[in-house]
């Protein structure tokens, strides 16, 4: 099983169909395959060998996709590196992974070999780094990506070709991607690829690169390219919801929100603006996309949906957490196909990392009577105040309902008497807004128990988030 062969099959069936549309450049499946083959020959000449681990530090582009498949064609493993990383951060990944080489979008001196990606004429820079032999793991590695690191040290997640194939088959039982689809792409490819782009290209769909993050650029891409599916983060949907034009999305059949939790206020504003509900998805690099709220997004906007048909979900240790809206809450575990093969550095096989095949997500959630999963925060983020537990997302949802609040971050602040108190950082829509902490506390008291109301509220100009996934980084 090789993912390049999966793409090659689609290219044989749809040779002249657009595979990637990037502004004024359209790359057909045949042309993309030609690019992949040419790059594979160049990389082989540079010294890339099977089973090597190659870093890919590149911007979103047709070239990024072509490089990934070219490395897979050579049976090398891809290690994506954020294109915004500074030199020291790139070096840290290279050293930790002992990468054989790195492909970069910017030059770095005489030690780099240079080349160009055909069709789009994108320059790239290649440098060999480590030549030592790596112990054979027995895994046909395709992809090694680090977790976001928001709750501790970052882990290298190892995925084989077969596991990636299994997860895209599971996802498409719900998404039903076909060659008739055009998918608008807005997210960094270094963070999102194997459950999405690999699926789209295996099915003959077209991938439209948005060309910008602002609403007018996105709406123009949707209109010009007959987009049928959106795949974006709550950040992008918040910008679209604020758009003041009269342009709609008549051809879009599905709008998926991913990368971080979807605040209810964004769902409501987007729905009012476009009359299109947002389908919230829940995915983790170790296990892929396991829940997508495609069946009842308008009725249950706060849910990530039911578990996909090929997966199982279990709520464990419910006695340690309070229920919400009549639901039993606890620690969320999943079991199913396409889960990761191992953790890298230190190496931990999946058999040792899973508990009887179950993966512990670290999230706290509950299932309603219809089997829809609702998430209330990370296990490590639950606030303990005077023996009571508070879910930060529940409080954030209430703060974000206030018309003057743009976004918020709720966290536990240490307190000698209560263990922790509920604290919040709040960003207002306008600096001139006439609202203070007392008004926000009074607003929260209308719908929240007293112990959940933030005791300390600080106003700030921004909420710190991870670079790629835009997940909130909560103060420790």
CATH of residue 401:
3.30.300.30
pLDDT at position 132, please? 65
86, 112, 136 - which closes a domain: 136
Burial class (CB in 10 A: 0-12, 13-18, 19+), 45: exposed
pLDDT at position 259, please? 82
136, 167, 194 - which closes a domain: 136
CB 103 within 8 A of CB 126: yes
Establish if 245 belongs to a structural domain.
no
Number of domains, the chain: 2
pLDDT at position 345, please? 80
CATH of residue 58:
3.40.50.980
- The pLDDT tens digits for 321-338 are 888 888 899 999 999 999
Establish if 31 belongs to a structural domain.
yes
CA atoms within 13 A on the CB side of 357: 8
End-to-end CA distance of the chain: 44
pLDDT at position 108, please? 67
Establish if 109 belongs to a structural domain.
yes
Domain that holds residue 26: 3-136
136, 158, 190 - which closes a domain: 136
Establish if 450 belongs to a structural domain.
yes
Q: Which residues of the chain have pLDDT under 70?
A: 108, 132-136, 148-154, 467-469
Q: Kindly list the distances between the CA atom of residue 152 and the CA atoms of 282, 354, 441, 474, in Å, as whole numbers in the listed order.
A: 20, 19, 31, 12
Residues 6+ positions from 266 with CB-CB distance below 8 Å: 234, 237, 238, 241, 278
Establish if 79 belongs to a structural domain.
yes
Establish if 32 belongs to a structural domain.
yes
Establish if 429 belongs to a structural domain.
yes
Residue 253: closest CA among 233, 228, 290: 228
Establish if 58 belongs to a structural domain.
yes
CB 71 within 8 A of CB 78: yes
């Amino acid at each position: 099983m090789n993912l390049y062969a999966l793409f090659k099959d689609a290219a044989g069936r749809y040779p002249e169909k657009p595979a990637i549309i990037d502004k004024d450049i359209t790359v057909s499946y045949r042309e993309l395959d030609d690019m992949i083959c040419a790059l594979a020959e160049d990389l082989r000449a540079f010294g890339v060998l099977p089973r090597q681990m190659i870093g890919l530090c590149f911007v979103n582009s047709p070239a990024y996709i072509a490089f990934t498949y070219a490395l897979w064609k050579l049976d090398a493993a891809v290690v994506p590196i954020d294109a915004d990383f500074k030199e020291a951060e790139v070096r840290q990944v290279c050293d930790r992974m002992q990468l054989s080489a790195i492909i970069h979008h910017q030059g770095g001196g005489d030690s780099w070999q240079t080349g160009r990606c055909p069709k789009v004429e994108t320059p790239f820079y290649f440098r060999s780094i480590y030549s030592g032999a790596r112990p054979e793991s027995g895994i046909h590695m395709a992809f090694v990506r680090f977790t976001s690191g928001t709750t501790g040290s970052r882990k290298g997640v190892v995925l084989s070709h077969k596991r990636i194939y299994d997860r895209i088959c599971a996802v498409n039982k719900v998404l039903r991607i076909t060659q008739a689809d055009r998918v608008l792409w807005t997210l960094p490819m270094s963070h999102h690829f194997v459950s999405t782009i690999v699926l789209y290209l295996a099915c003959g769909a077209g991938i439209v690169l948005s060309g910008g993050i602002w609403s007018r650029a996105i709406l123009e891409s949707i209109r010009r390219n007959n987009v049928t599916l959106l795949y974006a983060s709550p950040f992008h949907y918040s910008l679209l919801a604020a758009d003041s034009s009269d342009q709609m999305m008549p051809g879009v059949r599905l709008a998926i929100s991913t990368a971080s939790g979807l605040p209810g206020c964004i769902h409501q504003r987007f729905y009012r603006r476009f009359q299109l509900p947002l389908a919230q998805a829940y995915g983790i690099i170790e296990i892929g996309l396991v829940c997508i709220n495609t069946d009842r997004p308008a009725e249950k906007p706060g849910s990530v949906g039911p578990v996909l048909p090929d997966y199982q979900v279990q709520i464990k240790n419910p006695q340690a957490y309070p229920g919400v809206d009549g639901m039993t809450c606890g620690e969320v575990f999943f079991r199913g196909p396409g889960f990761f093969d191992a953790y890298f550095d230190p190496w931990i096989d999946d058999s040792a990392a899973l508990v009887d095949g179950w993966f512990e997500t670290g999230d706290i959630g509950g299932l309603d009577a219809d089997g829809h999963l609702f998430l209330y925060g990370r296990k490590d983020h639950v606030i303990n105040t005077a023996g009571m537990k508070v879910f930060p997302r529940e409080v954030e949802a209430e703060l974000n309902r206030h018309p003057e609040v743009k976004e918020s971050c709720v966290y536990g602040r240490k307190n000698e008497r209560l263990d922790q108190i509920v604290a919040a950082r709040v960003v207002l829509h306008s600096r001139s807004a006439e609202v203070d902490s007392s008004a926000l506390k009074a607003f929260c008291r209308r719908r929240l128990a007293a112990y959940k109301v933030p005791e300390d509220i600080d106003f700030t100009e921004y909420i710190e988030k991870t670079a790629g996934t835009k997940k909130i980084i909560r103060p420790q």
